[in-house]
Chain A
Amino acid sequence: MIKKVFFWVSIIFFFTACEDTLVILPRDGLVKNEYWKLKEDVEATLMGAYQKFAQMDYLLFFYGELRGDLLEQGGNLPNEWRDIMNGNIYPWNSLTAWTPFYSIINYCNSVLAYSPQVKESDPTFTQYKLDQYNAEAIFLRSLAYFYLVRIFKDVPYIIHPYDTDEQDFFPSKTEGELILNTIKLDLQQIIDKIPKEHSTNAETRGRATRGAVNALLADISLWTFHYEDCIKYVEDIEQNELYKLLPGGKWFNLFSEGNTLEGIFEFQFDGNLGQYNHMYNLTRPENNYFQVSSFGLEILLPEISNELIRGFGTVNPLNEFIWKYVGIKPDEYSRRSSAEQADCNWIVYRLADVLLMKAEALSQLGSYNEALIIVNQIRDRAFMGVVSAPQNPQAYEDMILMERAKELAYEGKRWFDLLRMGRRNNYERKTTLIEIVIEKVPATQKRVLASKLNDPNGWYLPINDQEMETNVNLVQNPYYQVYE
């Protein structure tokens, strides 16, 4: 009897004491060991990176427009956004957090790190597809770093995925120049591996292509003042039959329809698939977050500027609000509705943009006439008269800047355009930048902001204080070290 009890008790001990009992895998999700087996896994994570980037549309808008001169503060503007606009920028402002960019970088790094092992296990995964996915990942990662460098200047450069707490989470910063040179090399290497087009038009405009890589390379080259490179990459796009300037009458289709012939790379939204952008909500007049600045009205209000095509499309003359993401037609009344309400694509690069980049590069190299042809090409498309040729570099720069402001208003470009001007030739035109920027802030803020912008280090954002505190290896960006 007793022996039996002992026997069974020991049996119980024996069976249940196995460590195996304590190993339970989740049933409603994927653990890493079970992932990275099929090529579909690689593509799905790549799509995750695109999707995440697309969801950052409002941040791309903020970083490109808040500090520029096309926006004015609306009554309901949240304080954190208002502070950025006024130049009251502190490391505790949540817009200084760079985590969203690094999430994308982490997804891309995961694709790049694990796709080779997937090729081992999935025989249907061809080298061609592998190269394509990796190239797309490198494109997205480079785009993220290009934004980071333009916003923060020096940032940690990370090219491995994070997936266990045994890794080192405390990188230090890498110089922005170095990062740009590195990603430029990366992009040059993938340009032959990336497809020129994808299976559908939407994928061709919504995923990385040869055209998109060229546009990004042109943008980086222009930012680093390598004008010949910029021209070379834009020319490659010009020769690409996929991209054509839309006729002036169809200009607003860029936004209301999206994926037009002019689009080179657009983050895709489709309300019917439950994918909504932030831009509708952000720019709808009811919310009154932003108003069009007086400069914006000056160049874009149809009555004043005569900019019928871009004016009616960019701002609504009725209530003087941004119309690109809210309207369905370039008139005063036709609003987006139902499923289409918030599915305007976020255009990263379109042909007019890269052509104006080329014009800027040409003008900087002294090829004024060639540059003027491009500017007038863009103006002609907008049914605007031909401008004559000012024969000095600065006047040329201003002309192109103005044309970009009109053509690309509220597309997240303005602040970076201004910075390019301000940084050029060793901050030669720093005061111009300051004058432009302080124009839109309340009178009481003008002097304060001017003195802040006098130090070009103040043109970049501080590292978020949460990031500073959790990573001892980071040094706060120069202008903001007083807050540490």
Chain B
Amino acid sequence: MSDIRNFLIIISLLFLNLEIMAQEGGVIRGQIKDKTTGESLPGVNIVELDDQNRIVNGRPSDINGNYVLEVKDINHNIQVSYLGYISQTFKINSRTIINIELEEKTENIKEVSIVAKTSSNALTGVSLRDQAGAVTQVNMDELAGLSTATAADALQGQVPGLDILAASGNPGSGSSIVIRGMGTLGNANPLIVVDGIAQDIKIQDFNFASADQHDLGQLLNIAPQDIKSVTVLKDAASTAVWGSKGANGVLLIETQTGASGKIKFNYEYKFSANVQPPLIPLLNGDEYITLQLEEWHNYAGIYDIPKEIAYDKNYLDFYNYSANTDWINEITRTSFTHDHFFKLSGGSEKSRYYTSFNYYKESGTTTNTAFRRFSVRSNFDYRLSDKLLFTINFSYSNTFREDNPEDIRSMAYIKSPNMSVWEYNENGDLTGEYFTPIVSYQGSGNTFFNPVAISELGNNDIKGNEIQNNFVVEYDVLDWMKFQESVSFSFINEKGNRFIPGSAIGADWLDDSINVAEEQNSMNIRWMSRSQLFLQPFKQNDIHSLTGVLMWEMEQKEYDWMTLFTHKSPSSEITDPAAGSPYGLMRSGISQSVLLGAFASLNYKFKDRYIINLNVRSDGSSSFGAGNRWGIFPSISGAWRFSEESFMDNLKFLNDGKLRIAWGQSGKGIDDPYATFSYYASSGQYMENPSIIPVQIELANLKWQTVESWNGGVDLGLFNNRIYITGEIYKQVTKDLLWEDYVIPGSSGYSRLGYFNGGQLQNIGWEYFMRGAVIDHKDLKLSLSFNISRNLNSFLSFPENFLTVRGSSIGNGVYPRKAEIGKPIGSFYGFRYLGVYPTDEDAIARNKNGDILIDGNGDPVYMTYQGTYKFQGGDAIYEDVNYDGKIDLMDAVYLGDSNPELTGGFNTSIKYKQFSASFDFFYRLGYDIINQVAIETEGMRNKNNQSTAVLHRWRWYGQDEEGLLPRAFMNHPCNNLGSDRYVERGDFLRLNNVVFMYRLGENITQKFHISGIDLAINIRKLFTITRYTGQDPEIGRVEKDPFWLGLDNARTPTPKIYSFRILLNF
């Protein structure tokens, strides 16, 4: 905190300094009139300015246009300004009566730049044009009209090297963003910076039921309409200034500011309908019962048929088990979104203001899911004098996310369709209750709950409040030196509530799962201060330009949390865990951390052609142990603007051409502030004695993970800059790779180290981006853009004693996961599926040459699963890779990985007079998905409901058809092994956004006294071209696990959104 205090002292000193310059004063008076009409003007501002153009005094004119001003110093200037008129500034020159005539402005006031020469985004003071690293800027005006909840959705497919996936189609579930491949294990999301303030607060995952990620909650809290531009920093040389926080890349978000001139009001409303892609067709109740009977028959021959599927009219629950329920359909709906956005902005020559209010309300396509956001953003800057600029940014957001307490979608896929949603009595009359038996045919009512009941009666809500303030003072100390101090403060509070009433699940009233109530509270507080000194020691001229920056920053974070858990409250109406329920669990915690950073940069430009940029960033983190706290990360980049060379003059079509090369290092620390301590914690008690046990090993060796990156690029502007091309090639090597939960021998008494450094990971790739204004007439404009990027990810080395196998077990639906040198993160292994044995005799083992294997007695050897189960007709065939007649772990082969080879998008926009249209395509190619939904719904080995694909299954001895599925067999040990049967290519091309917009003509708008009306229709995800058979190939990504599999696990697919938008300008 000490530097914040010091900063305040400095600020007050600055003010003091300015105050002592006042000298002798006097009084002036006069009248103010319109120059053309001669009418007197009331309310005109007359201000006295000192020699630094700082306002020292001022008053407005009265109703007759008269004014009297007591000036402090007769040598000062007087400025007269009035909205819509050209303002005047003049010396008093010992006059006492000054009459003024103001001239009306004929055209709208153009934006007057009063912000500093360097915007807050460019902490290095280098303009985008002179950047030598890999940087892409997207102007959000280009994306206007899109109906997206967050900026991340709007950016999908727009920036090469930026891979964005929606975490789920549930409202408010956020996105996962990866820049240039997974360069790190664990969270690979980039740093998000809003108006110069890093938003690296870790959001606790509150979603109890699903595996959705909410790490990018920061983006959820910003209305996309507030965003002016997004700049993506990809390589170490560009992210250098952000230090360790930016090691995964940086998204710089600049929000809108006001413009000098008349006050402007703007109101926008969007209405959207969200529709899910076609559902996977499932068996109805009758088909399901037939399948179940077949499973039992194949497993156990003549079998005592369970009464639930026996069609026994005398069975008390007959009506409850003879339905044809489409569970998935029951929990899926078409939902609607309302989005109101109101902003006002304006400014004078001294100040600018921008304020917006947003109310966004989205309901999800899964029942009982919704997201609401109310947000306010206010940006204000005021020039206190020519040398002193003061800026305040304020934002507040209130979010509410509603979800289901259990994963109802996965349950709906497998729930028996012969079960009724509502309960019938033995006479076939509805009782008005949900049908939630304690034990159903499928098993315990706790596990196999009624998804409709859970959705309707349970809740799982998260409320969030976020406030962020940012104060910046800029002072021009000298012509060549500027000082800037920023102080920011942010506060995030989240509260999660989850409740499952006993009436929604099938359980005995004394069961622990009755009336389960959970509450989680968390509070994130952060202070940040940054001092910067911009240096420009030489006057800028055409030949030399030398600039530099020195920066020092400090960040403190605190995270407090509390969890309450109770069950068996006496009534389903008591949903609050604190309301006296009998059993409880309480946990709370607090963590604090400090990050220090110093940065120095030097930029030299010669003749606007040769650019060189040197950066050094040093980071100190409290999360590391003594001796390892500081990391130093240098970077260097250079660019050659060859288009300025004289020998290029002949190439008339080339307007701008730049070659760039950059090298840099960046470091990544850990999120956990106390991971390095040898730690003891209470573990309860033994008898009545408290017990405390060691829970964590001291990490004395833990250090920064370093990413070393090379980047080469070329930028071309052709044909009057109508065509813009940029290409990049890069290589990034991550050294001292940080492993989270690193497995160590259990003989230590621990199974894992919190973190461990070791091994190397490499990402190499290229990116290409092109934008062209094909037609550029006054009335007709057509522009095209295209981008593509390729990334190759591979492990270069592992630490010693490294556990390469994660999950070596095989079995139904299980994929062994392994890490191999040369293979990417997220590789998975399994069996090769070859179809179905038509008969028992076909399951004969053969050697490499195709000859039948013979055992010691001369009998042929039959294929077995792990030597225990003998394959029979109707069973799945797996390739016996090692020809030993046994299908076991040795036959598992590499099946694929979930990293895309090519990603990108292309865009067309057309503008004809007042009509415009744009089409955004997004594609992602060369990655594999494990279709978990298919594993669950095509296995035919348990009591789960199955998809209609299983209707084409092996049913009679000798049946041999193309694409036949194996036989139905209850508890089959190996018919559903993790194999390539469920591995599908995820490749897709999607029309991500279509926008049609019409701007109403002035003749119409003037009737309503409105300066403009825009009408737009937007369709999101209109169609997807893919061979993937699941609902949506855009599967979520779980960054936390380095051995993550691209698993399609029945999360809500991202919906199609049809929306209508109206925008009114006043």
Which has the most chain A C-beta neighbours within 10 Å: B533, B588, B689?
B689
Select one of B3, B483, B808 contacting A465, CB under 8 A. Answer: B808
Looking at chain A's contact residues, the main secondary structure is: helix
Residue of B nearest to A474 (CB): B745
Say yes or no: A165 contacts B701, CB within 8 Å: yes
Contacts of A268 in B (CB 8 A): 686-687
Q: Which residues of chain B come closer than 8 Å to A97, judged between CB atoms?
A: 746
B13 interface neighbour in A4, A156, A470, Cβ under 8 Å: A4
Known contacts A165-B698, A467-B746; decide if A45 and B17 are in contact (CB<8 Å): no
**Is B278 on the interface with A (CB-CB < 8 A)?**
no
Pick the interface stretch among B591-599, B657-665, B710-718, B950-958. Answer: B591-599
| A467/B811 contact (C-beta < 8 A), A16-B554, A28-B590, A51-B691 known | no
Chain A residues contacting B626 (CB-CB under 8 Å) are: 19, 23
Q: How far is the CB of A421 from chain B (nearest CB, A)?
A: 28
Interface locus among B64-72, B461-469, B674-682: B674-682
Expressed in whole angstroms, the Cα–Cα distance for A290 and B12 within the complex equals 78
Say if the beta carbon of A248 comes within 8 Å of chain B. no
**Is A22 a contact of B749 with CB atoms below 8 Å?**
no
- CB distance B753 to A165 under 8 Å? yes
Known: A12-B552, A465-B808. A106 touches B748 (CB 8 A): yes
Residues on B with C-beta less than 8 A from A52 are: 683, 693
Give the chain B neighbours of A56 by CB distance below 8 A: none
CB contact between B629 and one of A22, A35, A161 (< 8 Å): that residue? A22
Is the pair B687, A471 in contact by a Cβ cutoff of 8 Å? no
Q: How far is the CA of A169 from the CA of B673 in the complex (A)?
A: 24
Q: Which residues of B contact A273 (CB under 8 A)?
A: 685, 687-688
| B580-620 near A? 1/0 per residue, CB < 8 Å | 00000000111111101000000000000000000000001
- State the CA gap A44–B683 with chains docked (Å): 9
A27-42 to B contact mask, C-beta < 8 Å, 1/0: 1111110010000010
Are A466 and B692 in touch, CB under 8 angstroms?
Answer: no
B441 contacts across to A, CB distance below 8 A: none
CA gap between A102 and B680 in the complex, in Å: 17
The reply to whether B811 and A79 contact each other, CB–CB distance below 8 Å, is: yes
A50 within 8 A of partner (CB): yes
Measured CA separation A5–B744 after assembly (Å): 52
Judging by beta carbons under 8 Å apart, are A21 and B596 in contact?
Answer: yes
**Also in contact, A31 and B747, with CB within 8 A (given A47-B685, A54-B686, A106-B694):** no
User: What is the 8 Å Cβ interface bit string for chain A, positions 44-70, against chain B (1 contact, 0 not)?
Assistant: 110111111010000000000000000
Chain B residues numbered 512-533 whose CB sits less than 8 Å from any CB in chain A = 531, 533
* Beta-carbon contact of B750 and A106 below 8 Å: yes
B803 and A26 contacting across the interface, CB-CB below 8 Å: no
* Residue of A whose beta carbon sits closest to that of B751: A99
CA distance A52 to B17 in the complex (A): 68
Please tell me if A88 contacts chain B, counting CB pairs below 8 Å: yes
CB of A48 within 8 A of CB of B596, answer no
- B113 CB contacts on chain A under 8 angstroms: none
Contact across chains for A2 and B692 when beta carbons are under 8 A apart: no
**Complex partner residue of A165 from B483, B596, B756, CB under 8 angstroms:** B756
Could you tell me which residues of chain B, from 689 to 707, have a CB within 8 Å of some CB in chain A? 689-694, 697-702
A48–B700 touching, CB < 8 Å? no
Question: Most chain-B Cβ atoms within 10 A of its Cβ — which of A12, A98, A103, A469?
Answer: A12
Shortest distance between the CB of B14 and any CB in chain A (Å) = 8
A32: chain B residues at CB < 8 Å are: 677-680, 694, 698
A30-B680, A30-B692, A268-B686 known; A24 and B747 CB under 8 Å? no
Contact between chains at B746 and A464 (CB < 8 Å): yes
Q: Are A21 and B594 in contact (CB under 8 A)?
A: yes
CB of A365 closer than 8 Å to a CB of B? no
B686 near A51 (CB under 8 angstroms)? yes
By beta carbon, the residue of chain A nearest B753 is A165
Set of chain B residues within 8 Å of A12, measured between Cβ atoms: 2-3, 6-7, 531, 552
Q: Is B477 among interface residues, defined by CB-CB distance under 8 A?
A: yes
In the assembled complex, B578 has its CB within 8 A of some CB on chain A: no
Task: Count how many chain B residues have C-beta atoms less than 8 Å from C-beta atoms of the other chain.
Answer: 79
Partner of B803, one of A158, A171, A470: A470
B residues 717-750 touching A (CB-CB < 8 Å): 743-750
Contact (Cβ within 8 A) B592 A170: no
- Indicate if the CB atoms of A48 and B749 lie closer than 8 Å: no
- Among candidates A13, A31, A105, residue contacting B749 with C-beta atoms closer than 8 Å: A105
CA distance A156 to B748 in the complex (A): 10
Interface presence of A443 (CB below 8 A): no
Q: Contact check, B674 vs A29: say whether CB atoms are below 8 A apart.
A: yes
**For the complex, what is the distance from the CA of A428 to the CA of B185, rounded to whole Å?**
55
Residue of B nearest to A200 (CB): B687
Given A8-B10, A32-B698, A470-B803, is A158 in contact with B811 using a C-beta cutoff of 8 Å? no
Residues of chain A lying within 8 A (CB to CB) of residue B909: none
A13 and B552 in contact, given A31-B680, A43-B689, A470-B743 (Cβ under 8 angstroms): yes
B483–A5 contact, CB under 8 A? yes
Contact with B along A449-484 (1 / 0, CB 8 A): 000000000000000111101111010000000000
CA distance A169 to B801 in the complex (A): 10
B794-811 to A contact mask, C-beta < 8 Å, 1/0: 000000111111001101
Min C-beta distance of B356 to chain A, whole Å = 34
Q: Are B679 and A165 interface neighbours, CB within 8 A? A: no
B26 within 8 A of A: no
Q: In this complex, what residue of B is CB-closest to A75?
A: B971
A49 to B17 CA separation, bound complex (whole angstroms): 68
- Cα distance A409–B629 in the bound complex, in angstroms: 57
Max count, chain A CB within 10 A of own CB: residue among B621, B679, B691, B867: B691
Report the Cα distance A213→B69, complex, angstroms.
Answer: 100
Judged by a CB distance under 8 angstroms, whether B488 is at the interface is no
Asked if B746 and A1 make an inter-chain contact with CB atoms under 8 angstroms apart, the answer reads: no
Residues of B contacting A296 in the complex (Cβ-Cβ under 8 angstroms): none
Contact partner of A1 (CB less than 8 A), chosen from B17, B594, B805, is B17
User: How far is A102 from B746 in the complex, measured between Cα atoms in Å?
Assistant: 7
Q: Is the CB of B478 within 8 A of A161?
A: no
**B811 partner residues in chain A, CB cutoff 8 A:** 79
Docked pose: A203 CA to B689 CA in angstroms? 10
In the complex, A206 has a CB within 8 A of chain B? yes
Q: How far is the CA of A19 from the CA of B630 in the complex (A)?
A: 9
Q: Mark B231-271, 1 if CB is under 8 A from A, else 0.
A: 00000000000000000000000000000000000000000
CA–CA, A68 to B825, complex, Å?
Answer: 43
Query: Does B622 sit at the interface, judged by CB under 8 A?
Result: yes
The 4 closest A-B pairs by CB, nearest first: A106-B749, A99-B746, A48-B693, A47-B691
Where the two chains meet, the residues of A that have a C-beta atom closer than 8 Å to any C-beta of B are 1-2, 4-5, 8-9, 11-13, 15-17, 19, 21-32, 35, 41, 43-45, 47-52, 54, 79, 88, 92, 97-99, 102-107, 110, 155-156, 158, 161-167, 169-171, 202-203, 206, 268, 270, 273-275, 448, 464-467, 469-472, 474
Q: What are 24 A-B interface contacts by the 8 Å CB criterion?
A: A9-B533, A12-B6, A15-B3, A16-B554, A19-B629, A22-B620, A24-B592, A24-B622, A29-B674, A30-B679, A35-B680, A48-B686, A92-B889, A99-B750, A158-B748, A164-B698, A164-B699, A164-B700, A167-B748, A273-B685, A464-B746, A465-B805, A466-B743, A470-B743
11 further interface pairs, Cβ-Cβ under 8 Å (given A16-B596, A106-B748, A268-B686): A21-B620, A26-B679, A48-B693, A92-B808, A99-B751, A102-B747, A102-B748, A163-B698, A169-B744, A470-B743, A472-B801
